[in-house]
Structure formats: C-alpha cells, structure tokens
Amino acid sequence: MVITTDKRENTIAIPQGIIINKDGKKFVKVQEIKNIIEREVAAGLISSLGKIEIISGLKEGDVVVE
C-alpha cells in the first residue's frame, strides 16, 4: 500500500545526506567549471526515500557533489 501525503512537480530534490549545516544555514557542494564551491540553499520537504526538496540555491543542470 502506498500513501501519498504530498506530491510536487518540477522540483529539485537531492539526497538529504549531502546537505552541509553551518551556523544554522544549509549548503551543498557544487561543481563550477574546475572548482567545487559551497552554495547556500533553502530546503523544503523531505521524502520518505531520503531526498530533500531544494527551494532555492540550485537550478536545473547544476552538478552537486558529495
């Protein structure tokens, strides 16, 4: 049995475990050309599969690394 409590379309979701928490803010590591930078993100809902919704800070095509 599957119980769906919320469904969102056109969202970015990443594994919850790659979020970095610093001083009450959330960051992810993003590959930019030859550099890896930490970019602040705003997170939303967490799925039962361990993915977390990214509300802002990432866009389609960004390469997130662990």
Q: Is residue 25, in this structure, part of any structural domain at all?
A: yes
Q: Is residue 6, in this structure, part of any structural domain at all?
A: no
First to last CA, the chain: 33
The pairing of beta strand 12-15 with beta strand 20-22: unpaired
Q: Per-residue pLDDT tens for 2-50?
A: 666 667 777 899 999 999 999 999 999 999 999 999 999 999 988 888 8
pLDDT at 48: 80
The tally of domains found in the chain comes to: 1
Contact assessment for residue 65 and residue 58, using Cβ atoms and an 8 Å cutoff: no
| pTM assigned to the model | 0.82
Q: What is the CATH number of the domain that holds 54?
A: 2.40.420.20
pLDDT at 47: 84
Determine the structural domain holding residue 32 and report its residue range: 12-65
pLDDT at 11: 86
